[in-house]
Amino acid sequence: MKRTININIPTWGLAVIAIPMLLIQTGCSKKFLDVVPQGQQPSEQFWQSQDDATKAVNAMYANLRGWTNVAFAPIAVESMGSDDAEKGGGYAGDANFMNDFDNFTLTSTEGQISDFWGGQYQNINYCNQILDHVDTMNFDANLKARYIAEAKFVRAYSYFRLVRAFGGVPLRLHLPAGATDYNLPRSSKDSVYAAIEQDLTDAANVLPQSYGAADIGRATKGAALALHAKVSMYQKKWTDVLNYTNQVMGLGYSLFSNYEQMFRIANENCSESIFEIQATYLASNNDASNCQYSQVQADVLVTPSVGWGFNRPTQDLVNEYEPGDPRKDATILFPGETTPEGDVVPAGTPADAFHYNSLYNQKSYVPFALAVVTNQGADQNIRVIRYAEVLLMNAEAANELGNATQALSSLEMVRARARSNSSDPTVLPPVTTTDQTALRTAIWHERRVELAMEFDRFFDVIRQGRAGTVFGPKGFTVGKNELMPIPQNEIDLSAGVLVQNPGY
């Protein structure tokens, strides 16, 4: 029976290509079973042309918007443990497993842990398919080099999500070549970070600063440098963080003038965007309209429904904003408000305590008229790296290195944009302290309100060494909950080669 690759390619950003995780040639004596399923292409006929390579790279990007990359699993792993978010949902017991992440009672058998792990390794498999095949193919050398660099960026992005969630993980940089290559032990956290950094260095040396309209959304030099800065920040390599962010700051990015409108569909891939996961809705192609990032977070009380209501902002987040900060209303949908697009956000009733005064993530908001389709809000891109975060990383690194002047300058650019969105010019006054500890606190505050509901707060607090204090009231245990448990099914499949994290 032939191994197959499923291909459905309308455009580069909408590619759907299913490349099996394990490309194993299986034997079968029944010749009538050797029938290629409709719409599928045998792998022996793939990796032959530039068009094949393009399809594979497009599929790699398309996979980034799949369920395990943008929906329940990342909400559980990357958002639920923070003080910015709580479960939400359609009713009190809806997807109750999310509460295990919120109150730190999760175990290694929880399904979202397995989904998150599997989703990242599926991304890595797509990348490794490209890296192990494209280099040997005969087509334009410059395009070949760019495709390899794009795959290295995506692989680095997925390994970064894995290493900050689990610590050391199996490091697979090539497709399995033999039986001993399948069951890999965990590499050290340092080894994983080193591999990520090498991929990003390689990618930044090749990727262009920008693309033409047909290729908007692909990884750029700025994306590789910005992600490298973030990876360095998690390792407290402050000189590297400053170096990479300074380089990005010289590439022509700028803060989008309107913070709230920056997250709307009309302003995707704007001047502030460094990397976004591309999504779209095609009425004729539900398989390509598969991004459920907005759907799972959208207001559940709207009639007809526009979403499922998960990942609700908390009152603790509301309280973090300074008086008059326009980012509060731009980040949180409040009951009873009317959005700039004219949608009235309904409120629950006191009799329905679970929905009474419900808050929703406005950064994932899609106008209700656009959301009433299959996979509501499937048009909404996911902002992965924004220029504002680069400025805040630059400020943090400069402060850690004793350069308060540069730290204050970068911090002020972010605050000034927010201030300009307010009708009151006295709100959000410039931070003036040069005391390193006080300035560090101010930068951390700014990260929280600027990047709220963008899936960073939980790991931000952990890397800052404050998780026991900030998350302790929720049940966080120091020495355990800094990491997620390795999925038990992966440990079982490895016959014990994979070792569990402490405390699980």
The pLDDT of residue 40 is 57
Percent of the chain with pLDDT over 70: 91
Q: What DSSP string runs through 308-321? A: --EEEEPHHHHHHS
Closest CA to 71 of 336, 327, 364: 364
Residues 6+ apart with CB under 8 A from 433: 439, 442
The b/e string for 486-504 (b: 16+ C-beta within 10 A; e otherwise) is bbbebbeebeeebeebeeb
Dump pLDDT digits (tens) for 238-263: 999 999 999 999 999 999 999 999 99
Asked if 398 and 242 touch (Cβ cutoff 8 Å), the reply is yes
pLDDT at 45: 82
Nearest to 204 by CA among 275, 130, 119: 275
Residue 219 and residue 149 in contact, taking contact as beta carbons nearer than 8 Å = yes
Higher pLDDT, 21 or 238: 238
Statement: residue 25 has pLDDT above 60? no
For residue 2, the model assigns a pLDDT of 28
End-to-end CA distance of the chain: 41
What's residue 348's pLDDT? 92
Asked whether residue 328 is domain-assigned, the answer is: yes
Q: What angle do CA 68, 72, 76 make, to 5 degrees?
A: 110
Q: What 3 state SS string does 45-89 have? A: HCCCCHHHHHHHHHHHHHHCCCHHHHCHHHHHHHCCCCCCEEEEC
The residue that leads in pLDDT, 49 or 25, is 49
In terms of DSSP bridges, do strands 40-42 and 4-8 run parallel, antiparallel, or are they unpaired? antiparallel
Question: Considering the domain boundaries, does residue 262 fall inside one?
Answer: no
Distance CA 448, CA 385 (A): 15
Tally of structural domains, the chain: 1
Looking at the domain assignment, is residue 329 inside a domain? yes
CB atoms within 10 A of CB 370: 17
127-136, 224-233, 366-375: least confident range: 366-375
- Whether pLDDT at 413 is above 50: yes
pTM value surpassing 0.85: yes
Q: Is the pLDDT of residue 27 over 50?
A: no
What's the confidence (pLDDT) of residue 82? 98
The pLDDT of residue 42 is: 62
- List the beta bridge partners of residue 360: 333
Please state, in angstroms and rounded to a whole number, the distance separating the CA atoms of residues 164 and 462.
9
Q: Which of 7-21, 35-49, 322-336, 393-407 has the weakest average pLDDT?
A: 7-21
Distance, CA of 56 to chain centre: 21
Angle at 266 (CA atoms; ends 262, 270), nearest 5 degrees: 50
In a domain, 361, yes or no: yes
Q: Tell which wins on pLDDT, 392 or 305.
A: 392
- Domain hosting 334: range is 293-380
343 within some domain: yes
Residue 10 tokens read as: 């309308």
Is 341 inside a domain boundary? yes
Q: Give the pLDDT band (50/70/90) at residue 288.
A: confident
Is residue 164 included in any domain, yes or no? Answer: no
161 in a structural domain: no
Question: What contacts 146, CB < 8 A, 6 or more positions away?
Answer: 206, 207, 208
Q: How confident is the model at residue 465 (pLDDT cuts 50, 70, 90)?
A: very high
Both tokens of 459, joined, read 């790991």
3-class secondary structure per residue, 122-137 = HHHHHHHHHHHHHHHC
Q: What pLDDT score does 43 carry? A: 63
Q: What average pLDDT score do residues 52-81 get?
A: 97
